Amino acid sequence: MHLPDNIFALTLLITGLVSFGVGIAVFQKLGGAVRWFGSIILATAIWAITYSFELSSNNLQTMVMFTHLEYIGVATLPSLWIIFVMRFTGRENWLSIWGMALIFLEPALTLIFKWTGAWGLQYATVKVANNGPFPLLDITPGWWYRVHTLFFYAMLAWGFWMIVAKFKKAEGILRRQNRIILVGAMFPWVVNLIYLLHIRPFKYLDLTPFAFIATSLVIGVGLLRFRLFDIVPIAREKIIEALQEGILVTDLNGMIIDLNPRMKKLLDAQRASYIGNHIDELFIDMDLFKQAENWPENYQLEISRKEQEQTRFYAVTVTPLFEKRTIYSGNVFLFRDITERKQNEQKLEELNQLKDRLFSIIAHDLRTPMINLGDMIYLIESGDLSQAEFVSMLPELSRNITYTSGLVDNLLFWAKSQLGGATINPVSFDLYLAAEHLLGLFQRSADEKEVVIHNQVKELTFAYADEDMIQAVLRNLVNNAIKFCRSGDYIYIKAEMSNSELIISVEDTGVGISKENLTRIFALGNFTTRGTVNEQGTGLGLMLCQEFVEKNKGHIGVESVPGKGSRFYFTLPVGINTSPVLV
């Protein structure tokens, strides 16, 4: 062997060395799928350099030695190509350990058969032909040579199919990249096919490595200089699977033909498979298919769906599918969960209504008693109001002050609760003592209306809750009971055990509540009516009662018979008697 001394060998050596450097640079500087293209460049460089030395050799032994080295590139090229294509088209999940083993199995066997010369599987016979301008190797292929050729072209065709199938609708630069890859890959294999058809210079010269090295060199320089594959496409399946929106595809008859994992999760995986089901079977009473048929262009709608005793809301975008732009073939439904947004909108609406109500209360109910009190003080100071007149007005003044005081308390409680300051401090406390405290608090207002309040809670009846909150609940319920009692009516405060919880009730024999108003009490939150002697209210009290009871892990309700009285009740966890034991 000596250094290349003919134009073919010299060309291959120079371009092969340059390609080898380019391949290393691509492999080191670039990542992802492009790095595997760098491996292809390295394989072709090895093939070109070793083939240049084969063409410069003049004895059989040296030529065969270089063919062994050539096959490092020749055998691995198809496998490197298919790995590059899989990475480029987003099929990395195929490249598991077993997948890689299968891809490199045939190249490994080819190298073994070539290096060992076993049974002439790769080359049946090898000799030197001296009838050209320089010695050339005359090879008779073995049957494994044909297997490797078939593998070679099968990998080429498979890679072509994957690129075309994945990116036939690609846009702009991606389409240009695909053309570069396909044309670049096709050229050397066409040259190799010509070689296999025995159309060769000097009868034995293989131009395939020349074609490979030219293509690899051009694309490699493009990668480094112009960042040819900087924009590497992401598989559409990955994008669809990663979307947080549910995607459901139907045919023109409304039958489901595809859906993404998010959509399956949205449907709570109620069935093993949704393919082949009609969309209206999953969304009953919504007529999504009929609505999709009636809209020729994109449109949006909002739907609600009962899921595990909870109503969820979805914004649905419907996009019709067309073949050849005119033939309707189905629809794509995009589902976005807007439950949280709808809940926030509902809460905001409720808060806005409550805000308006509070401003009205502050502007009228709180301001009016203060103005009346101010007017009375002015009349006394100016001497326009006699002592007898003042004494006659004291009951009304007392009622106004009591009402205003209760209103201020409720406003403060509500504001503290809404601002997050109403922390719950549950303790065990005696309900009997809490009820006794109420008797003293409301005795005067009860006596004025000639109403009798009975505390029927047994002594040492303990509840586990925030005592201040429950005091506020009882205070509002007893005040309401007095408000709707007539002269001679009774009010009873009771507590009884039921299913490991306490049921506390405030019952009265007053005028009761109509069926219409009964359904509105807790539904509207701040519903109120005038009392039996025209006492006013704001409705804040019952709203606070409901909120405080629920915060203490209970629930509140009401029963009433018009003309016979009402019963407000709520539940609380049972407390533990913490009183010291006397011995």
pLDDT of 570: 92
Q: Which residues contact 523 (CB under 8 A, 6 or more apart)?
A: none
Q: Are residues 394 and 513 in the same domain?
A: no
Whole domain around residue 221: which residue ranges?
7-226
d(CA 67, CA 50): 7
Three-state DSSP at 304 gives: strand
236 belongs to a structural domain: no
Domain boundary among 307, 337, 367: 337
Predicted confidence band of residue 399 (pLDDT cuts 50, 70, 90): low
Q: What Cα–Cα distance (Å) separates residue 339 from each residue in 185, 307, 350?
A: 52, 12, 16
Per the DSSP assignment, residues forming a β-bridge with 175 are none
Q: Are residues 354 and 294 in the same domain?
A: no
Per the DSSP assignment, residues forming a β-bridge with 334 are 247, 317
pLDDT over 90 at 113, yes or no: yes
Task: Tell me which range, 189-198, 303-312, 351-360, is most confidently predicted by mean pLDDT.
Answer: 303-312
231 belongs to a structural domain: no
- What CATH number should be reported for the domain holding residue 324? 3.30.450.20
pLDDT in tens, 438-465: 787 778 778 888 889 999 999 888 999 8
174 belongs to a structural domain: yes
pLDDT of 493: 93
Encoding tokens for residue 293? 């048929």
CB 156 within 8 A of CB 78: yes
Nearest to 507 by CA among 548, 549, 564: 564
Predicted confidence band of residue 506 (pLDDT cuts 50, 70, 90): very high
CB 401 within 8 A of CB 442: no
233 belongs to a structural domain: no
Q: Are residues 475 and 553 in the same domain?
A: yes
**DSSP code string of 42-85:** HHHHHHHHHHHHHHH--SHHHHHHHHHHHHHHHHHHHHHHHHHH
Predicted confidence band of residue 238 (pLDDT cuts 50, 70, 90): low
d(CA 110, CA 204): 22
Give mean pLDDT, residues 401-422: 63
Q: Are residues 124 and 30 in the same domain?
A: yes
Q: Are residues 387 and 304 in the same domain?
A: no
- What CATH number should be reported for the domain holding residue 76? 1.20.1070
Predicted confidence band of residue 226 (pLDDT cuts 50, 70, 90): very low
Q: Are residues 145 and 38 in the same domain?
A: yes
Q: Are residues 400 and 316 in the same domain?
A: no
What is the strand order of the sheet 501-508 is part of?
A: 452-455, 490-498, 501-508, 565-573, 556-561
d(CA 71, CA 66): 9
Q: Are residues 432 and 297 in the same domain?
A: no
pLDDT of 231: 47
Give mean pLDDT, residues 114-142: 86
Q: Are residues 32 and 48 in the same domain?
A: yes
Give mean pLDDT, residues 492-505: 89
199 belongs to a structural domain: yes
Q: Are residues 110 and 122 in the same domain?
A: yes
pLDDT over 90 at 386, yes or no: no
Q: Are residues 51 and 152 in the same domain?
A: yes
Predicted confidence band of residue 120 (pLDDT cuts 50, 70, 90): confident
d(CA 239, CA 230): 19
pLDDT over 70 at 34, yes or no: yes
pLDDT over 90 at 362, yes or no: no
302 belongs to a structural domain: yes
Q: Are residues 296 and 350 in the same domain?
A: no
Three-state DSSP at 335 gives: strand
CB 544 within 8 A of CB 373: no
| The model's pTM | 0.46
Give mean pLDDT, residues 192-211: 69
Domain boundary among 337, 364, 388: 337
Domain boundary among 393, 421, 449: 421
Percent of the chain with pLDDT over 90: 9
- Beta strands at 123-129 and 426-430: parallel, antiparallel or unpaired: unpaired
Percent of the chain with pLDDT over 70: 69
Across the chain, mean pLDDT equals 77
- Beta strands at 327-337 and 246-251: parallel, antiparallel or unpaired: antiparallel
Q: Which residue has the higher pLDDT, 546 or 540?
A: 546
The H or E element spanning position 221 is helix 208-226
Q: Which residue has the higher pLDDT, 133 or 271?
A: 133
Residue 526 CB neighbours (<10 A): 19
Encoding tokens for residue 9? 């060998």
pLDDT of 57: 86
234 belongs to a structural domain: no
pLDDT of 165: 73
Q: Which residues contact 267 (CB under 8 A, 6 or more apart)?
A: 246, 274, 282
468 belongs to a structural domain: yes
Per the DSSP assignment, residues forming a β-bridge with 556 are 570
Please tell me the total count of domains within the chain: 4
d(CA 293, CA 251): 11
